[in-house]
């Protein structure tokens, strides 16, 4: 499904993934099937599925995920007191996506139903 949607777009995309959806997007991109330009990748409250996280191999990204992604700006957002995905999961992605900008967020949001203004601000900083 992701591949079909992205194939229909003929210009660089901005991709935003939240929680499980963010991990699916990240795994898809790490598998190398997407060849078109990505302007920005924004990952919110993404779980670590590796052995030190929730330990589900089928959802885990490869350890060298940072080397496998299309070239783009990457941003990571995670609440310090997220009740769904522990904050330590952010550290997993910070280690593997060293060029990413991490945005730890005070509070206990997971779904950000009231919005995430800093994500919007970061999108607006991307070059066109």
pLDDT at 7: 86
User: What CATH number has the domain spanning 13-124?
Assistant: 3.40.50.1820
Q: How far apart are CA 22 and CA 15, in angstroms?
A: 9
**Average pLDDT, stretch 23-37?**
88
Average pLDDT across the chain, whole number: 94
Give pLDDT, residue 4. 87
> In the structure, what pLDDT confidence band is assigned to residue 128 with cuts at 50, 70 and 90?
confident
Full DSSP string of the chain: -HHHHHHT--S-EEEEEEHHHHHHHHHHHHTT---S-EEEEEEES----STTTT--GGGPPPTTHHHHSPS-EEEEEEETT-SSS-THHHHHHHHH-TTSEEEEESS--SS-TT--HHHHHHHHTS--
CA distance 77 to 106: 11
Q: Domain coordinates of the chain in residue numbers?
A: 13-124
pLDDT tens-digit map of 70-119: 989 999 999 999 999 999 999 999 999 999 999 999 999 999 999 999 99
Question: What are the tokens at 56?
Answer: 């589900």
- How many Å separate Cα 100 from the centre of its chain? 10
Task: Give the residue from 13, 40, 43 showing the smallest Cα distance to 27.
Answer: 43
| Cα gap 93→112, rounded to integer Å | 20
């Amino acid at each position: 499904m992701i591949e079909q949607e992205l194939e229909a777009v003929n210009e660089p995309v901005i991709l935003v993934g939240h929680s499980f959806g963010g991990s699916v997007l990240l795994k898809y991109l790490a598998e190398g099937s997407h060849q078109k330009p990505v302007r920005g990748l924004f990952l919110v409250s993404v779980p670590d599925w590796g052995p030190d996280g929730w330990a589900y191999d089928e959802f885990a990204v490869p350890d060298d995920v940072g080397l496998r992604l299309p070239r783009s700006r990457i941003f990571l957002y995670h609440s310090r007191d997220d009740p769904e995905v522990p904050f330590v999961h952010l550290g997993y992605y910070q280690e593997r996506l060293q060029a990413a900008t991490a945005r730890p967020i005070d509070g206990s949001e997971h779904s950000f139903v009231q919005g995430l203004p800093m994500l919007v601000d970061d999108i607006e900083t991307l070059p066109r």
